[in-house]
Structure 1
Amino acid sequence: MRSRLGGRDAAATAVTLVAAAFCGGALASLLVGAPARAQGGEAVTASQVNLVDAGGALRGVLSARDERGQASLAFYDADGQTRARFGVDPQGDPELELGNAAGEARLAAVVTGDDALLTVGNERQAHGVLGSAAGVPLLSFGDGQQARMQLQMGEDGRPSVVLAGADGQRSAALSMDGEDAPLLTLYHAGRQRVTLGVVQEAAVINVSGPGQSRVVIGVAADGFPSVTLYDDAGEAVGSIP
C-alpha cells in the first residue's frame, strides 16, 4: 500500500536543514553516481546526499531518484525506520508521508493535477480520507476494505452523505434535490427500497419492491393525507382516500 501526502512547507523545511548542515560543516555526504562538484563556489551537485548523526547512523537521504523512481527527501529515526518522506514522482505530482515507529504511513497525501487527497490512519484498517476528486470535495471513512461512509459536495453545491455495508454497497443515503428539499433513501442488496422526502411541499414515503414502487404515503402541504398502492407493473390498484 502506498500512502501519499503533498506539502510544500515540509519540503521547504527539509531544504533549509540541508543548507544549514552544509554551512555548519555538520553534513556527512555519500555521493552516488558523478562526484559532487562546486559550481561558482555556491552550489554542490550530486545524485544523492546522505545525512548521518554523530555516531554515523543514517538519519536522512536527499536523492535525485530513489527506489520509487522519485526525487525525494527522507528522514529516519534512530532505529532506521522511515518517519517522514517527501517526494515528487516522474509526472511532477508531490507526495508526503509521515510514519509511525514501525515505519508504516499514518498521515499521507498526494496532489494529482487539480485534486488532492489526505489520508489519516492505516489504509488497511480504519482510516479517513479528506480531499477532492474531479473538483468535488469529499470526506470518506473506510474499514480497510471498503469505504463505509462518504460525505461530499456536488458541483452544484448540493451535499450528500452515503453509508455503505461491508460489501461496499449502499445502505442509506441522505441528499438534497434541486429545490434544497431533503431526501433519505434506504437500500437493500443494492436496490432502493424506501425513500422519505419532501416533494413539491408534500411529505412522501415511497416503499419499493424488487423493481417498482408498491406503496406511496404522502401528506400534502395543506395537510391532506393519502396512501396509494401499485402492482408489479407500476399501475395504481388502490388508494386511501
Structure 2
Amino acid sequence: MFEFKKTALIGLAISSLTLSGCLSGGGGGGNDDAEQDTRVRVQQQRMNEGFFVVQEDELPFDALESPTASFAPSVVSYEDTSRWSGVLNGAGYRIEVPTNWNGMLVMYAHGFRTSAPKELRVDNPPMRRYLLDNGYAWAASSYSTNFYDVRAGVEDTNALALAFNDIAAENDRVLDAPDKYYITGVSMGGHVTAAAVEKETKETANHVVNYAGAAPMCGVVGDTELFNFFAGYTISLLAFTTDSAANVPFQSPLPTLKQS
C-alpha cells in the first residue's frame, strides 16, 4: 500500500512539472524567440497612406427650412440652432444643438459607402427635424475610414460623443454633460449601433460610451451568412465578366478572375 502511494505521488509530481513546463513555454516545445505577428490591418494601412480624405468643404451645413403651412408650426427656431462641424481624429463630424436642448444627445451612424471610397462624408440623421422639435441634440461622424468597417464606426462615433462638450466650449457655448446618450443608424450604421452597446465593446473599445438606448435599423447583426452570400455572389459575378477583380477596391486581394 505504501509503495503504491509513493509511486502515485512521484507520478503526480512528474506530471505537474511537465504541465508547468508546457504552460510556461519552457521544456514543452515552446519557442521564446518566436516572431510576433506584426501584420498591419488593411484599413490601418490605408489610413497610414492617406487613402481616406475628409471632404472638409462639405462639412458646414444649413439650418432646416421652416415647415410649410400644411404642417404644424415648429416649436423651435431652426435658424437659431447651434451647428458645428470639423474634423476629429481623421473623421469629419457635424453637431446640432437646439436652443431648448433637453440634455440628451443622439448619435447617428451612417451606412456602408458604395461609391467614392476615398471620400469621407457626414450624413445628417433622417429624423433631424423630429430631434430638434423635441429638444434633442444630435451628432454624426463620417468615420475615419470607408468600406465595411464597423470598428471604425463605433470608435469614431463614440469619440465624437465624448468630445461633445469640448467642441461646444470651443464654439462659445458651454453645456452640461449630456444626461443621456442614444445611438441609432441604418444598414451598416445599424450594425455600428448594435456593436456600440455590446458588452465586448465596453470591455475592449478605446472610446466607451454608456448609451441609455440604441435603435439599430437594417443592421446585419444575426450571423455571417449574409456576408458569405455577398462574397460568393460577387466572386461568381466577376468570374463571368471581362473585368478583373483587382479593379474592384474591396476585392484587390483576390486573384484576377476573367471569363474563360
> When the two structures are superposed, what TM-score results if normalisation uses the length of structure 2?
0.21
Which structure has the higher relative contact order (CA within 8 Å, separation 6+)?
A: 2
| TM-score (normalised: structure 1) | 0.22
Structure with greater proportional strand content: 1
Q: Is the helix fraction higher in 1 or 2?
A: 2
The structure whose Rg is larger is 1
